[in-house]
C-alpha cells in the first residue's frame, strides 16, 4: 500500500513538472514567433514611416496615421501583427499625455529587437535635434531592413527545402518499387 502511495506521489510530481515545462516551452515558442513577426514587419513600418515623413507629416502624425491604417486592416479581418500593435500602443501613450520621446523609448524597449531600438533612438534624436537628417537615416535603415528581409526569406526557403527532403525520399522509394517489382516478377 505504501509503495502504491509513493508511486502515485512520484507520478504526480513528474506530471506537474512536465506540465510546467510544457507551459514554459509554449511561452518560449510564442515569444520566438512574436520576434519573427516583429522582424518581418520592420521593413514595412520603416517604409510607411518614411513615406509619411516625405509627404510632409511629422513623426507623431505619421505614427497616428500608421496606427489608424492598421486599425482599418484589423476591422477588415486582417490578422493582428505585434509590431503594429506596439506602434498603436505608442499612439495610445501619446494620447494619454506621455511625451513623444518617452513613448518612442518605451516602444524600443517593448519590442526587444535591436532594429526597433535603433528606430526609437533615431526618432528620439529627431525630436531633440530636429532637421532633415531623419529621412536620410530612415532611408539607410530601410535599405538595411530590406536586405535583412531578403536574408530571412532565404533562410525560410532553406528550411522549407529541408522539410521536403523526407517526402521526396519516400516518393523515390515508391517510384523505385513501381519500377523494380514488375521487373522482378517478370523473371
32-167 CATH, one of 1.20.5, 1.10.3470, 3.40.30, 1.20.81 = 1.20.81
pLDDT at position 1 is: 66
Domain ranges of the chain: 32-167
- Predicted pLDDT of residue 108: 92
- Mean per-residue pLDDT, 25-54: 94
Confidence of residue 169 (pLDDT cuts 50, 70, 90): very high
Three-state secondary-structure class, residue 11? helix
Has residue 128 got a pLDDT over 90? no
Rg of the chain over Cα atoms, rounded to whole angstroms, equals: 26
Give CA–CA dist 178/171, Å, rounded.
11
Flag whether pLDDT at 2 surpasses 80. no
- pLDDT, average across residues 101-119: 92
**Residue 93 pLDDT:** 95
At residue 102, the pLDDT reads 94
Q: Residue 131: which pLDDT band, with cuts at 50, 70 and 90?
A: low
- Say if residue 117's pLDDT is above 80: yes
> For helices 114-129 and 133-163, what crossing angle results, to 10°?
170
Q: At a CB cut-off of 8 Å and minimum separation 6, what does 48 contact?
A: 62, 66, 69
Q: Mean of the pLDDT values across residues 46-68? A: 93
Mean pLDDT computed over every residue of the chain: 91
The model's confidence at residue 83, banded by pLDDT at 50, 70 and 90, is very high
Amino acid at each position: 500500500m505504501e509503495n502504491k502511495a509513493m508511486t502515485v506521489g512520484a507520478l504526480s510530481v513528474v506530471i506537474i513538472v512536465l506540465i510546467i515545462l510544457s507551459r514554459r516551452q509554449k511561452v518560449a515558442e510564442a515569444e520566438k514567433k512574436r520576434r519573427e513577426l516583429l522582424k518581418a514587419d520592420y521593413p514595412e513600418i520603416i517604409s510607411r514611416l518614411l513615406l509619411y515623413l516625405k509627404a510632409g507629416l511629422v513623426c507623431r502624425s505619421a505614427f497616428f496615421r500608421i496606427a489608424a491604417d492598421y486599425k482599418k486592416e484589423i476591422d477588415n479581418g486582417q490578422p493582428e501583427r505585434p509590431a503594429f500593435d506596439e506602434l498603436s500602443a505608442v499612439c495610445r501613450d501619446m494620447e494619454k499625455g506621455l511625451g513623444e520621446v518617452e513613448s518612442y523609448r518605451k516602444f524600443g524597449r517593448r519590442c526587444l529587437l535591436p532594429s526597433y531600438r535603433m528606430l526609437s533612438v533615431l526618432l528620439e534624436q529627431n525630436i531633440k535635434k530636429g532637421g532633415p537628417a531623419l529621412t536620410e537615416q530612415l532611408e539607410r535603415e530601410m535599405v538595411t531592413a530590406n536586405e535583412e528581409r531578403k536574408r530571412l526569406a532565404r533562410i525560410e526557403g532553406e528550411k522549407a527545402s529541408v522539410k521536403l527532403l523526407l517526402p521526396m525520399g519516400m516518393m523515390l522509394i515508391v517510384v523505385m518499387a513501381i519500377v523494380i517489382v514488375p521487373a522482378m516478377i517478370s523473371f
